[in-house]
A = this chain, B = another copy of it.
Amino acid sequence: MEFKVNSKELEKLLSKIIPAVPTRTPMPILENFLFEVKDGLLTIYATDLEISLKSSLNIVSDENVEVVIPARLLNEIVKSLKETVIHFKFLPNNKINLLTDTGKYMISYLPADEFPEIASVDSEKGSGEINEFSINGVELRQAFDRGSFAMSKEEMRPAMMGTLFEFSKDGLRFVSTDGHRLVNLLKKNIVTSFSQQYVVPERAVSVLSKILDEKEVKIHLSKSYASFKLNDIELITRLISQKYPDYASVIPMENEFLLKVNTKDVHDSIKRMMLFSTTSTRRVKFSITKDMLNISAEDLDIGASGEEKVKCEYSGDELEIGFNSSYVNDMLSHLSGEEQIIFKLHSPTKAVLINPVKEKENEELIMLLMPVRLNT
């Protein structure tokens, strides 16, 4: 058994697949690639049992082969080579020779049947409908960028450890929340014939964010799996089966006090106030008057405090409200493209909404942030 492949083409392929290889796992077999050579097509798979990546490449081979190869070692070897032809030659003792013009390398392989089965959307065909839609890769990545920071890291509420894809007559809505903050982004231009909710796990979102480009992405959704077909690579992910919390019910409607500020001014101030907010609470205080937002923080542990004035336009009752400065910082980092934003408030204990002043075409973005108590 043998085949030949150009080192740079293989390097490109491996670099796309390696994000699915887990860094720490109780199952060492997952630290491998599955190589499948079939009729001159080399397909490489990797999986962590939650997500899988696969991609293919035409190569020179007379035989069909299926083997399992150490992922990181192979990736490092191939990355370190100059452009050359690599001749993979399988030896009987579970060894592979990799031969190049100037070098000869030997690594071990395992039989293919030790590798877990790669799930697919098609395998579920019997058990319900498969929905499909398309979206531009950059648009999808931007949607993830807006909200992925707000996904929960707490295993207690599994649904919140993913991003909600909600299809309705309004369009496609992306929702992420950890209970303290929530990002709700509606893409009105994504129109589908079905109405449905799917929860895509954090790892799929983060790996997709790395590999999405300006090409169209074709997405298939079954009850338990989603497949994202990019130009030259497919990501398959398990979906989170728990029901997503009723996000709409937590978005307040009565927030009538409007605070308009320059995004960068507030963000710069928040970054400085983070130096003064107590490490345990990270609390920062907004004291809001008609034309001046006063931001302050105090770290009793080190006896330091800070306060700053930021110009604003405010219509509402004078108000003092506390926030976790890290959370405000996260929000503003993901709004840094917006020149001005509006905080919509009601009282020191009610959720606050944050919007860009200028909405993007076909887009509706609402961020929500829970305040923290000031008198503790």
Residues of A whose CB lies within 8 Å of any CB of B are 70, 73, 76-77, 80-82, 95, 102-108, 268-269, 271-272, 275-276, 302-310
Are the C-beta atoms of B105 and A309 separated by less than 8 Å? no
Knowing A102-B308, A102-B309, A103-B309, say if A95 contacts B303 (CB, 8 Å).
yes
CB-CB < 8 A to A272: which residues of B?
Answer: 77, 80-81, 103
Are the C-beta atoms of B302 and A106 separated by less than 8 Å? no
Knowing A80-B268, A268-B80, say if A103 contacts B306 (CB, 8 Å).
yes
Are the C-beta atoms of A305 and B80 separated by less than 8 Å? no
Residue of B nearest to A306 (CB): B105
Are the C-beta atoms of A275 and B73 separated by less than 8 Å? yes
Residue of B nearest to A101 (CB): B309
Knowing A80-B268, A81-B272, A272-B77, say if A107 contacts B304 (CB, 8 Å).
yes
Stoichiometry, as copies per complex, reads 2
Residue of B nearest to A275 (CB): B76
Are the C-beta atoms of A304 and B103 separated by less than 8 Å? no
How far, in whole Å, are A247 and B73 apart by their CA atoms in the complex? Answer: 39
Residue of B nearest to A81 (CB): B272
How far, in whole Å, are A304 and B308 apart by their CA atoms in the complex? Answer: 61
30 contacting pairs across A/B (C-beta < 8 A): A70-B302, A73-B302, A73-B304, A76-B275, A77-B306, A80-B271, A80-B272, A80-B275, A81-B272, A82-B268, A95-B303, A102-B309, A102-B310, A103-B269, A103-B306, A103-B307, A103-B309, A104-B306, A104-B307, A104-B308, A105-B276, A105-B304, A105-B305, A105-B306, A106-B305, A106-B306, A107-B302, A107-B303, A107-B304, A108-B304
Nearest CB on B from A50, distance (A) = 26
Are the C-beta atoms of B103 and A308 separated by less than 8 Å? yes
16 additional A-B residue pairs with CB within 8 Å, beyond A106-B303, A106-B304, A107-B302: A70-B302, A73-B275, A77-B272, A80-B268, A102-B309, A102-B310, A103-B306, A103-B309, A104-B306, A104-B307, A105-B276, A105-B306, A107-B303, A107-B304, A108-B303, A108-B304
Residue of B nearest to A106 (CB): B305
How far, in whole Å, are A58 and B302 apart by their CA atoms in the complex? Answer: 29
How far, in whole Å, are A82 and B265 apart by their CA atoms in the complex? Answer: 11
CB-CB < 8 A to A81: which residues of B?
Answer: 272
How far, in whole Å, are A254 and B172 apart by their CA atoms in the complex? Answer: 78
How far, in whole Å, are A283 and B270 apart by their CA atoms in the complex? Answer: 52
